[in-house]
Structure 1
């Protein structure tokens, strides 16, 4: 008997940074038990170059990534989602499409690294922070005993994960980013 694969959709307004990062991070940490997707309510039409850069620096595949509208996942022929997570506050406040299959939902809001202004080091540090926070949350999520946890407890855990924060970058992380930016 094959093991279940859970479909997870990460939503953001522009689908150019946070949701894209989450999609790829889940692909790695989901150990083939999860398939990651991402979309936006008002997609920018392109993946942010620093999102691509931070993924490449961490040895993630970037081929096939694209900014797409969440309406793609509300179509009858779209994959049925088991989980839908908003990763930005604006998307969390918007009226989402009705998702087939009644997926579990939670808000995992993070500051938008694409909105950070300043030099390249400051902008890259914002992407690094978003990446680490998402990676931390996704590691916790993928370790949950999904087959043995009741729906109410699972919802509490998903909400708790949305409040989790990654450890602050160390000084050596900042130096690594500064020297490789």
Structure 2
């Protein structure tokens, strides 16, 4: 059985999408294969994000910011899912449409350091927990029907007012 492929995208591919890639690859080794990319990738990964991944007992070796074009081929990598973690939709996602299910999980939409005394590492730790919860509910827990997955999206959206709407941009 070939694993389902998932591409996590964010603006710089320095923290959030790398965390999602690591979480899925650590937990879904046989049936899932995750990748990540950035719309405008950073030169290096965020050291706090790499530390949080390692502290969770997940291998961070090999994780690095990459451009979306790295997966263009030849041959191009075919993804079952492409998940945008950035706050806004991006025109680059149009190139992934077709057989790829496009999802939008806008977790990276809050400014770092906005909380009272909040450090970047503390906020990344919160993001890590949020991303892990989303990955587990969508991909890592026992199989769910498509209707159940849609319900998860709606419940998460209603229960967390600070999060923007989780949307499915193409039918899955």
Aligned residues: 158
TM-score w.r.t. the length of structure 2 is 0.77
Asked if the contact 2:83–2:102 (Cα under 8 Å) also holds between the matched residues in 1, the reply is yes
Q: Over aligned residues, Cα RMSD in angstroms?
A: 2.9
Of structures 1 and 2, the larger Rg is shown by: 1
**Residue-by-residue CA offset, 1:71-94 (whole Å, 9 max, x unaligned):** 12233423210000011113x244
CA change 1:62–1:165 in 2 (3 A) is farther
Residue 23 of structure 2 corresponds to 25
**Residue-by-residue CA offset, 1:120-154 (whole Å, 9 max, x unaligned):** 962111011100001111111122526xx45xx37
Q: Aligned partners of 2:14 and 2:137: how far apart in 1? A: 24
CA change 1:36–1:72 in 2 (3 A) is same
Q: Aligned partners of 1:32 and 1:102: how far apart in 2? A: 22
Q: Aligned partners of 1:74 and 1:162: how far apart in 2? A: 33
Q: Aligned partners of 1:160 and 1:75: how far apart in 2? A: 35
For structure 1, which runs of at least 5 residues remain unmatched after alignment?
167-181
SS in 1 for 2:134: helix
Asked if the contact 1:44–1:67 (Cα under 8 Å) also holds between the matched residues in 2, the reply is yes
Shift >3 Å, 4+ stretches: 117-121, 157-166
For structure 2, which runs of at least 5 residues remain unmatched after alignment?
161-172
SS in 2 for 1:25: helix
Residue 68 of structure 1 corresponds to 66
Larger helix share, 1 or 2:
1
Residue 103 of structure 1 corresponds to 100
Q: Aligned partners of 1:20 and 1:158: how far apart in 2? A: 23
Asked if the contact 1:74–1:98 (Cα under 8 Å) also holds between the matched residues in 2, the reply is no
Q: Aligned partners of 1:69 and 1:30: how far apart in 2? A: 24
Q: Aligned partners of 1:44 and 1:108: how far apart in 2? A: 20
